[in-house]
Structure 1
Amino acid sequence: MATFEEFVKVAEISLKDKTSHKRMNEIIHIMREYHVMRGLTPEKAVEVLQALGPTYVKIGQLASNRSDLLPKAYCDAFEKLRDDVNPMPFDQVIEQIDRAYQASWHTVFASIDPEPLGAASIAQVHKAQLLDGTTVAVKVRRPGVAEDMAEDIMLMKHLLAVGEFASNAHRDILLSLEGFVEEIERTTANEVDFTHELGNLVRFHQEIADEKDVTSPVPYPAFSTESVLVMEFVQGTEIADTAALRDQGISVKRLAERVCQSYVTQVLDHGFFHADPHPGNILVRDGEVVWIDLGMVGSLTVSERMLVGKVFTAVATGNAYLLKEALMGLVRVRGPVDHGALLDSLGRLLVEYSTAEMKEINVGTVLTEVIEILRNQNLVMVSSVTMLARGFVTIEGVIAHLSPDTSVIEIVSKHVITQQADPQYLATKAFDLITSSAESVEALAKLPTQLSNTLEMIDRGQIKVNADVDVSSRILATIYASVGRLSLALLSAGLFLGSSILCTTHMEPQLLGVPLLGVLGYLGAFVLGAYTVFRIMVSRHRLLNNEEPR
């Protein structure tokens, strides 16, 4: 039976959805026109997606990375959707630019090349010259694309809501599709608004500034709007054109290592990475790697970067426990989790890769398989890591084409080891350790009181258990004595830690250049520690001589 919540969800989407009926008719018409029911060749599938519009072109682009789900022929065909899209007429381009500036394009540009440099589902790029003669690239959004994509996404949401309401069968599939639609909605919302890409360009260019022979286009914020983006014109060789690169005297092996190292640095050092690193988005200009098209980027927090580093370390060392620990910090729980079965599945996955040489391990493939294992345990990976998995699948394809002997996992492992020796990383780890220690000490400090209260309640019969518990006075006395000594030990440890922190300061008054309060703290810690050890030895003596504990 459908729940009331599902009913409300369908009703809410139905009230918001004013266009699905019309759009559904358009989709059915296109399906009939291309005789979809008779079967689809990879080439015809590309034509159908192009006819359906930019949303479905975007789905095809994402699907081109899923060779684990689709036949290779279809993945190869969908690759064409990245750049091989029918361009819009030049007069439409001019109209869009004039509308964005609310003035003639002549107020900004001296000239615009009518022939596009590239055409994609959302926008196309033209070479142009500013009034001062600077050569730039101008990215212009297709008219109505934002509205069309919003309509398609609303239709998908409507169909999924109806599917959930109508049947509880295949609920896992519906949840996966719902997550996919949410991801499409989020990424397309950022891609159709060029102010997001402008911010990406500014940040990305700044963060890779220190990398040798790696750069990205310089943005021009003064001439950019929501639908027009102006950036440095980059003329170079596409990284997949290995013949042209070799003709230029470039070592493709060293180039592959540089590209891979740059991508790993983006992920683990900056936490801000190119989420669509296909060959068309990586150019080589005079031996320099240029990352272009920052419409899709991923972002990781500091803690997420550290957890991702643990995931890579666990995969490289075959440590299932470390892998599970790291993954649990990167997921959202959607239902009951069998932690034993999860650990077993992760262990079996790592065993499969343990027999392979490290250079044969594909990071993207491993991450994709891990995500599937988590999904089976009602765990959903955060979107940034899902995006990272797809990014690694793509970049490993680029690296494999350039230099099959170059191992991405080896470069990642070396980077993680180097990163762990970095002072900033050590400072972060030290802070985490201090925080965890403080929480542990606080919990331990509460333990004696909690244990004492629990024993009192047991003694008074206020706690009932499914057994006859007869706690003798001698046992209670022993427990109370042990709790007391544990408390003294904790106080001694707390005084020692506090005094150590005080001694790093310049607090007055001082004794021999050391804060007096710190010295007194050390003295108190020593006295308490010595007394605790003395009481333990006395208790041991009484126990051996069968005397009553005190």
Structure 2
Amino acid sequence: MSNRALLRFKQIIKVMAKYGFGYIVDNKINSGKNSPFNLKKAFEELGPTFIKIGQILSTRPDILPEEYIIELQKLQDNTSYCSFEEIKKIFYKELKKDIYDVFDEFGKVPIASASIAQAHKAILKDGRKVIIKIQRPNIEEDMELDIAILKRIVNLTKARFKDTLIDPLEALDEILLSTRRELNFKNEARCIEKFKELNEDVKFVSCPEIIWSLTTKKIIAMEYIDGIKISDLNSLKEEGYDLNDIGKKLALSYFKQIFKDGFFHGDPHPGNIIIKNNKIYYIDFGIMGTLSPPLRNALNEAIIAIALNDIDKLIQVIMTIGIKKGMVNKNKLYEDIDSLFLNYLSTSLKNIKISSMLQDIFNAAKQNNIQLPKDLTLLIRGLVIIEGVVAKISPDINILDIAIPYVKSNIQLHNIPSFNEIFTNTYSFSKSSMELPSKLIKLCNFILNGRAKVQLEHRNLTKQVLELNKMVNRLIFAIITSSFIIGSSLILNTNIGPKIFGISLIGITGYIAAAFLGFWLLISILRSGKL
């Protein structure tokens, strides 16, 4: 470990301990009521990289408990911005051009400053207004170092995380991968281009144009959208906008991104949505979610199962897309989801939030050792934000009323197979049917010849085996102790060997050894709490 890494390691440990997280060597997450708040404060004190890590963790309820998620969502990018001189150096290093050779005007003070970058407003030589987002110096190296240190800490205490559903090292690897993607601004530029392409036929949705000649890994240049923030209701009303119309279009736009495109904005908060010329403009594409076609279809089916109160179908979907992390009791899973459904059925449809319902269902899956894909956790976060935005601009709109008809029509379209799908499935079925008789004959021959093998898989027996090992070890320990006592008694009775005060030294030594072993055995039993 380098001197820089060692100093940072000590700083991280010191700050975490300062806020009550020295328990890292204990078994479980601190249960103190102020722990979530303290974790947020610790991340803020540790600087931009930890603020970004905290913001990523706030999108992952599959990793942290809900109270931590809520607190980490409050993390603000209160970091000081880089000086204009530093920005000029980065700009020249990336593009080999001076700022004023490219722009007529360039705002020296950023209009926004975040943990990994800051945004400046500028005017090109041709008069176009643009936004230039420039990465902080050394942020990538700092992020790599901090995550490497966190992985080292987890490795040193990995035994403490053995009961967690998510492997902490795997989670840190995912965070590292996510930050690497976000730190390459060309990825964000490509996401904007893809979003524009997918929504080119939607007249009321758009996004900024990318200026590729000024875009690199550390700089992204895009069109400046001079509109009204969706949260500025008074300005929208003054301009004559119908808020109900905007709310409905926003919901429809987001459902299209999820259920049809499988490519959705991961952070649709009011600051990232602008209204201009009767269009909804999405900006800041640093966090984007993707849903594969099978996952998208499964999500469609899950929404329909919820609408029809079909628990069996919903469990089938969960088992299909989830990753089993232990023994799954389907009966308990059924009871948990049935209880949720009864709870929601007693609530007016107007008060049901689709994000809350999905979150509760996913929590039930988590409690039954089923880990759901991380893209779904980002989706729920996006839905929570969109529901909040829609509720603010148009309180009378119910998202579920829009979602279910949209999903139904979407499923009907998806259920119509293409000629290629029909041909492929028919060919596959006919081929398998022709092979079936020979496979059955082969199986029968194996059974008749005694060559058939049956593999048994034991599940959740590790704990019981460990307990049995402990019991056997204690029994052996007790037998050895008893042997010392019996042997020492026989030696004292025959009074053989060297003596001290007329008593056999060997016998006394045996008694002392027996007393020590017996005391050790008693202490271990008392500490286990199973006397």
TM-score by length of 2: 0.73
SS of 1:173 mapped into structure 2: coil
Measured in 2, the distance between the counterparts of 1:206 and 1:20 equals: 44
Structure 1 residues without counterparts, runs of 5 or longer: 1-14, 466-550
Summarize the alignment of residues 497-508 of structure 1 with structure 2, pairs less than 5 Å apart: none
In structure 2, the residue matched to 1:408 is 399
Q: Contact 2:182–2:286 (CA<8 Å) still a contact in 1?
A: yes
- Does 1:24 pair with 2:15? no
In structure 2, the residue matched to 1:253 is 244
Summarize the alignment of residues 414-425 of structure 1 with structure 2, pairs less than 5 Å apart: 414-422=405-413, 425=414
- Does 1:69 pair with 2:54? no
Deviation at 1:299, TM superposition (A): 1.3
Which residue type is aligned with residue 116 of structure 1?
P
Q: Contact 2:57–2:69 (CA<8 Å) still a contact in 1?
A: no
In structure 1, the residue matched to 2:511 is none
Structure 2 residues without counterparts, runs of 5 or longer: 23-31, 455-531
Summarize the alignment of residues 94-105 of structure 1 with structure 2, pairs less than 5 Å apart: 94-105=88-99
2:86 to 83, 92, 100: 92
Measured on the aligned residues, the alpha-carbon RMSD in Å equals 3.4
Measured in 2, the distance between the counterparts of 1:104 and 1:72 equals: 43
Q: Cα deviations across residues 376-404 of structure 1 (Å, max 9, x unaligned)?
A: 34332222222212211222222222223
Deviation at 1:49, TM superposition (A): 3.0
Summarize the alignment of residues 331-350 of structure 1 with structure 2, pairs less than 5 Å apart: 331-350=322-341
2:275 to 268, 279, 284: 284
Q: 1:344 to 1:93 in 2, by over 3 A?
A: same
Deviation at 1:263, TM superposition (A): 0.7
Q: 1:461 to 1:27 in 2, by over 3 A?
A: closer
In structure 2, the residue matched to 1:386 is 377
In structure 1, the residue matched to 2:135 is 141
Deviation at 1:358, TM superposition (A): 3.1
Measured in 2, the distance between the counterparts of 1:188 and 1:457 equals: 54
Deviation at 1:132, TM superposition (A): 1.5
Which residue type is aligned with residue 23 of structure 1?
R
Q: Cα deviations across residues 520-548 of structure 1 (Å, max 9, x unaligned)?
A: xxxxxxxxxxxxxxxxxxxxxxxxxxxxx
Q: Contact 2:123–2:130 (CA<8 Å) still a contact in 1?
A: yes
| More off after superposition, 193-202 vs 305-314 | 305-314
Q: Contact 1:333–1:380 (CA<8 Å) still a contact in 2?
A: yes
- Does 1:124 pair with 2:118? yes
Q: Cα deviations across residues 22-46 of structure 1 (Å, max 9, x unaligned)?
A: 2122234556888999997999876
Q: Contact 2:300–2:411 (CA<8 Å) still a contact in 1?
A: no
Q: Contact 2:264–2:288 (CA<8 Å) still a contact in 1?
A: yes
Q: 1:64 to 1:206 in 2, by over 3 A?
A: same
Measured in 1, the distance between the counterparts of 2:366 and 2:184 equals: 31
Which residue type is aligned with residue 408 of structure 1?
I
- Does 1:269 pair with 2:260? yes
Q: Contact 2:88–2:99 (CA<8 Å) still a contact in 1?
A: yes
- Does 1:398 pair with 2:383? no
Q: Cα deviations across residues 452-487 of structure 1 (Å, max 9, x unaligned)?
A: 56667777888899xxxxxxxxxxxxxxxxxxxxxx
Deviation at 1:155, TM superposition (A): 1.6
Q: Contact 2:272–2:282 (CA<8 Å) still a contact in 1?
A: yes
Q: Cα deviations across residues 58-92 of structure 1 (Å, max 9, x unaligned)?
A: 244346666972289846743xx15x543222222
Deviation at 1:324, TM superposition (A): 2.2
In structure 1, the residue matched to 2:219 is 228
In structure 1, the residue matched to 2:292 is 301
2:104 to 96, 101, 110: 110
Measured in 2, the distance between the counterparts of 1:385 and 1:316 equals: 19
Measured in 2, the distance between the counterparts of 1:159 and 1:282 equals: 39
Q: Contact 1:193–1:226 (CA<8 Å) still a contact in 2?
A: yes
In structure 2, the residue matched to 1:312 is 303
| More off after superposition, 30-39 vs 283-292 | 30-39
Q: Using the aligned pairs only, state the percent identity.
A: 26
Which residue type is aligned with residue 69 of structure 1?
E
Measured in 2, the distance between the counterparts of 1:208 and 1:464 equals: 55
Q: Cα deviations across residues 402-427 of structure 1 (Å, max 9, x unaligned)?
A: 223322222221111222343xx244
Which residue type is aligned with residue 353 of structure 1?
Y
Q: 1:132 to 1:316 in 2, by over 3 A?
A: same
SS of 1:172 mapped into structure 2: coil
Q: 1:234 to 1:68 in 2, by over 3 A?
A: farther
SS of 1:175 mapped into structure 2: coil
In structure 2, the residue matched to 1:55 is 49
Q: Contact 1:27–1:52 (CA<8 Å) still a contact in 2?
A: yes
Deviation at 1:272, TM superposition (A): 1.0
Measured in 2, the distance between the counterparts of 1:160 and 1:89 equals: 36
